[in-house]
Amino acid sequence: MKKIKIFGARQNVVDKTSVALFLESLLKNLPKSAKDLAHRKSRFAAEQKVSMIQNRDLIVVAKAKNWELPAKLRVLLQKRAVRTISGVSPIGILTKPYPCPGKCVYCPTEDRMPKSYMSNQPAAARALRNNFHPFRQVRNRIIALEESGHPVSKLEIIVMGGTWSFLPHTYQNWYIRKCYEAANSFLPIDKKTDSYLSLQKIKSLKNLQKLNETATHRIIGLTLETRPDFITEAELVRMRKYGCTRIEIGVQTLDDEVQKLTKRGHTRTHIIRAMKLMKEYGFKVCFHLIPGLPGSNIEKDLVWMKEVFKNPDFCPDFVKLYPCVVIESAELSQWWKDGRYKPYDDSDLIKLLMQWQTFVPEWTRIMRLMRDIPVSNISAGAKFSNLRQIITDQPTKLREIVGDDFYETHKLDTHNNLFRDIRAREVGFSVLENLSKNESPILVRRDYAASDGIETFLSFESPDKKVLFALLRLRKPTDNFEPQFFRSVLKDAALIREVHAYGGEMSVGKGKGMGQHRGLGRRLIEEAERIARDEWRKKRMTIIAGIGTREYYRKWGYEEKMTYMTKKL
């Protein structure tokens, strides 16, 4: 069988003997903190006259020797523990540069990158180094996360690069197939050639997905980015065959006049229609929003940004905010130079976002407040990327930016007016010491109308509702919904669009975490089934499951049918 070279070399530990010696000392006497660990590394290096030992070296050697690291030490060794704190390992990858159907004036244009991306952004730089090859990108990230101390059994692949739906279907098929090949490629290694046996004999995407259902690294979620005007039922069917569970759409603004001025090319009507179709087919939906566009102002932005959640035609599950900035390679740069456009200053932008986030409901997750554009690329506009940190953890700086009057009028010192979205409350980001030992998570139910249907958001939370342990999104579709495709699983069925237990990622089959592997997901599913059966009189439950979660749902009586997991109630 043909051998394929491994992309993404593993960490090369030069002085394994010294690393093992130091690791033994740590296991005998665990460091009390990151500061204590750093002090002991420094002292060991001086005494042994060796280079400073890196955390990654310790992780690699422990794995090679099959030494089980205590949870406390594992956390101290992890690089950026926040990466997997939501219970999954997100892996962002880019498609190669293709022409874009849009002509948006604010989008940067770089010859060797997909439109709207710049080569010095972290994910884009990694993609460029790997020549945009999906197999290389996915495998590189798995190895990097693994050797940084993160569990990587649950992968969330996020495909970026512009309008996915505009790409040739042959490229789409090849691209997704390579993603599954990369996740499945962690098979026994041929140590003589440092390569793994090719998966070439597995030709079909369906068979690769079948293998991934029980693989070491399971793709439990696949996200694709597109535009609202490209959403059709046929497009959603294609996405489902790839294993897509979440769609991110470039809404940008709800103001049609601004859309026209900035040459976006779609309207509110496209967004409303797309939103209904995506939810009726069970997808989770993320809106990309851009405050501060030409033709708008603070007052207009606040109106439509509030409408995103107050109008049942919209109500996204996730949002990413990309406040408008001026990039040299965008057409907007000339408008700025000519005096036809002026971006918001830091004070106005933060005041806008401080007011907007009070409208964001508990069932939405704010995934981003600022885009990770390097400061060197920004000609004008906000240049800080840690906006959430400033708002929640840096009161002095926040007061300095917004001014005393605004700070005191909105009572920002009390924290009662701050984020209540999912990310702000999920258990991995919360201080568990604030929970009483006698307080167990309670079941909370929130119902709201959305896209001509009913959404029920079920969750396990602390009694004061400040800490979120697990959630489930249940949908009662439109009464007269007549799907063109997948009728046998969608027609007259209740839909579970998401089940998620929070807390640091726990590998499949391993122990209990703060939110994961405690049975909370199962209890949420039971309650969803009760609501669908007893209150809505539905006879079938259908779940839009990621490929790597199918085995989980089979435990509870669900079977795979037409890319979904379904069960008669």
Can you give the three-state secondary structure of 29-92, one letter per residue? CCCCCHHHHHHHHHHHHHHHCCCCCCHHHHHHHHHHCCCCCCHHHHHHHCCCHHHHCCCCEEEE
Q: What per-residue confidence (pLDDT) applies to 2? A: 37
Which helix H or strand E contains 192, and what residues bound it?
Answer: none
DSSP state, residue 540: E
pLDDT value at residue 432: 45
| SS3 per-residue string spanning 400-420 | HHHCHHHHHHCCCCCCCCCCC
pLDDT value of residue 37: 85
User: Which of 414, 410, 426, 533 lies closest to 471, judged by CA?
Assistant: 426
Q: Which residues are CB-contacts of 281 (< 8 A; sequence separation ≥ 6)?
A: 233, 236, 240, 483, 486, 490, 544
Helix (H) or strand (E) holding 498: strand 494-501
| Alpha-carbon torsion angle 141, 144, 145, 149, nearest 10 | 170
For residue 115, give every residue at least 6 positions away whose Cβ sits within 8 Å of its Cβ, in sequence order, or none: 97, 100, 102, 107, 108, 109, 162
Q: What is the reported pLDDT for 403?
A: 87
**3-state percent breakdown (helix, strand, coil) of the chain, nearest 5:** 40, 20, 40
| Predicted local confidence at residue 515, as pLDDT | 45
**Domain boundaries, given as residue ranges, for the chain:** 6-77, 425-568
Phi, psi of 49, deg, nearest 5: 55, 50
Query: Do 454 and 418 meet the contact criterion of CB atoms below 8 Å apart?
Result: no
**C-alpha to C-alpha distance for 248 and 226, rounded to whole angstroms:** 6
C-alpha–C-alpha distance, residues 176 and 93, integer Å = 11
What distance in Å separates the CA atoms of residue 71 and residue 149, rounded to the nearest whole number?
A: 11
Tokens 């693994």: give the residue: 146
Question: What's the pLDDT score for residue 10?
Answer: 54
Q: What is the pTM of this model?
A: 0.86
**556 CB-near residues (< 8 Å, 6+ apart):** 522, 525, 567
Given a contact cutoff of 8 angstroms between Cβ atoms, the answer to whether 158 and 127 are in contact is no
Distance CA(420)–CA(465), nearest Å, equals: 9
How far is 286 from 275, CA to CA, in rounded Å? 10
Q: Are strands 453-461 and 442-450 parallel, antiparallel or unpaired?
A: antiparallel
pLDDT tens digit string along 151-169? 888 999 999 998 999 999 9
- Please enumerate in sequence order all residues whose Cβ is within 8 A of that of 407, keeping only pairs 6 or more positions apart, or say none: 398, 399, 413
pLDDT digits (tens, 9 = 90+) for 470-513: 999 999 999 889 999 999 999 999 999 999 998 754 455 454 44
Instruction: Using DSSP bridges, classify how beta strands 246-252 and 284-289 pair: parallel, antiparallel or unpaired.
Output: parallel
User: What does the alpha-carbon distance between residue 95 and residue 110 come to, in Å, rounded to a whole number?
Assistant: 14
Say if residues 499 and 467 touch (Cβ distance below 8 Å): no
Backbone angles phi, psi at 439, to 5 degrees: -95, 115
Give the pLDDT of residue 192: 46
Domain over 425-568 is classified CATH 3.40.630.30: yes
* Three-state SS at 265: coil
Query: Mind giving me the DSSP string for 5-29?
Result: EPSSPPP--S-HHHHHHHHHHHHHS
Low-confidence ranges of the chain (pLDDT < 70): 1-14, 78-86, 187-201, 413-417, 429-439, 504-517
DSSP lists the bridge partners of residue 534 as none
* Confidence at residue 7, expressed as pLDDT on a 0 to 100 scale: 44
* Nearest C-alpha neighbor of 224 from the set 183, 270, 140, 285: 285
